[in-house]
Amino acid sequence: MAWVGRGLVVAAGLLLGVTACVAPEDDPAGEGTDARPAAQSATAEPPAEPVEACQEPVPGFGVTVDADGEPLPARESASAEAPDPAADPRAILGPSTAIVDQTVTPVADGVTPALPVTVHSCDGETVVVEDASRILAVDLYGTLAEIVFSLGLGDHVVGRDASTGFPQAAGLPLVTPGGHDLNAEAVLGLDPTVVLTDASVGPPEVQQQLRDAGIPVIFFDDARDLDRIPGQIRAVAGALGVPEAGEQLVERTSGEIAGALALAPAGADPLRIAFLYTRGGMVQLLAGPGSGADAMIRAIGAVDVGTDIGLDRPFTQITSEALIEAAPDVIIMMTKGLESIGGVDGMLRLPGVAQTPAGEKLRVVDMADSVLLSFGPRTGRTIEALAHAVYQP
């Protein structure tokens, strides 16, 4: 697949959860306490086995289960106040915004990498990381940088991509000035000692140029969903020589997701929700299975209408017939995507939207692009904010 036209290809696939790690030459989307664990020992032994950058998903990650492995009833493990079950979400009128605290909180302070580490990169290469003092973590979602900061290595990060929008990274130099295309000169100018990336950014020639310059470049899984969160965290932590901090972060993230999942209202009549991905008049897509949006919709106890009407791809061009058949009660969009079509008025001009229950009641929920589908350490907060915006704005 050529790099030409990457913007549309990304929007339709890689942006929001096309699975598989792709070789760049072939590829042309309540911490609970202030106390933090002690830092890892600087004398810890490097792992005997190579770290796998592509790790297996953990089915049901974050779902609280009982002793028999059965899911606990809704809200039993919730740490946040659940939406009022007596309220009728279909009676809500008008738009709302899901607001997430975008601060990234490290799981530990003073973490010291135990290096060198040998890594099996997702593109099939074997990479040795000997120095993590100057880290560059770049992908389409900002997930990799979020993990690095959450592990306690934020002070080692020297640059950022356009999707890394949390406050601690705001002052870092931007290496994707063209949206999500890496600038080789900008990266080389930062003199990184290791680059963490995936196939969702490029062009691949730039990543190869970095390798040719002697920089260790590690490709991670570019798919994004709930079940891949622990593997992604463990892979990044292992590659940077801080596996213990990785396990602490997996545990914290699992607990936050469990509490957020428990906010989903119980009942036999779940809301029907559509996720629309737009970028002006050129990109207008309805999400379906494997988009990443379907996982977020299920997480708040609703039905993803794209999957329900039988779409067989993560994203499909919006048509009046499909959207009217889907009959969503609520539409979810990225904030910049909604702005790109002129807000709620522009949304009503999309094919079929005005003829849906969501369009008739102007029920659109927007959320910041950098958090909605990143599927990283802040996902529990994201699910919680989305649930409140949908059920009790």
| pLDDT tens digits in sequence order for the chain, 393 residues long | 333 333 333 443 433 333 334 333 333 333 333 333 344 433 445 456 899 999 999 988 876 444 444 444 443 434 456 556 557 899 999 999 999 988 999 999 989 999 999 999 999 999 999 999 999 999 999 999 999 999 999 999 999 999 998 999 999 999 998 777 999 999 999 999 999 999 999 999 999 999 999 999 999 999 999 999 999 999 999 999 999 999 999 999 999 999 999 888 877 789 999 999 999 989 999 999 999 999 999 999 999 999 999 999 999 999 999 999 999 999 999 999 999 999 999 999 999 999 999 999 999 999 998 899 999 999 999 999 999 999 988
- pLDDT value at position 281? 86
- pLDDT value at position 63? 64
- pLDDT value at position 45? 52
- pLDDT value at position 82? 58
- Tell me the pTM: 0.83
- pLDDT value at position 279? 92
The total number of residues written for the chain in this structure: 393
* Amino acid present at 62: G
What residue ranges define each of the domains in the chain, with the CATH number in brackets?
Answer: 6-60+104-258 (3.40.50.1980), 89-102+264-391 (3.40.50.1980)
Sheet holding 217-219, edge to edge: 135-137, 194-197, 217-219
- pLDDT value at position 15? 39
